[in-house]
Amino acid sequence: MFRFRRSAPRLSVDEARTRTSGDRPEAVLLDVREKSEWKAGHAPDAVHAPLTGLAAGAALPAAAQRRPLVVICRSGHRSQQAVKLLAERNADAVDVEGGMNAWAAAGFPVVDERGNTGSTA
């Protein structure tokens, strides 16, 4: 089981969107949910890397390597686990408080695997 540092920084969805959007985003939005969740709905510019794969030793996708990472899941629990794991790999990573549930509640776009309006459920 992972142990969390209580002082680990967390971002609001507003901060996450600011850091990961625009012409030259300062960070990559890394979605660590499972494939079925990703297919149902994710942020349009997110990169997918399931926590189960990362925990098993999978490498980060090329688009996320050597970049600051803003890690998101459904509610914020798995993203905290992923940040801990990524920190052990010397990655610069922070998680999003409230996850995709908060992202969608803020009115930010969610798309499915085909680019249509998606769901976080």
- Catalytic site residues? 73
Which two tokens mark 3? 């142990």
Backbone angles phi, psi at 62, to 5 degrees: -55, -40
Mark 10-39 as b/e (b = at least 16 C-beta within 10 Å). bbebeebbebbbeeebebbbbbbbbeebbe
**Is 30 strand, coil or helix?**
strand
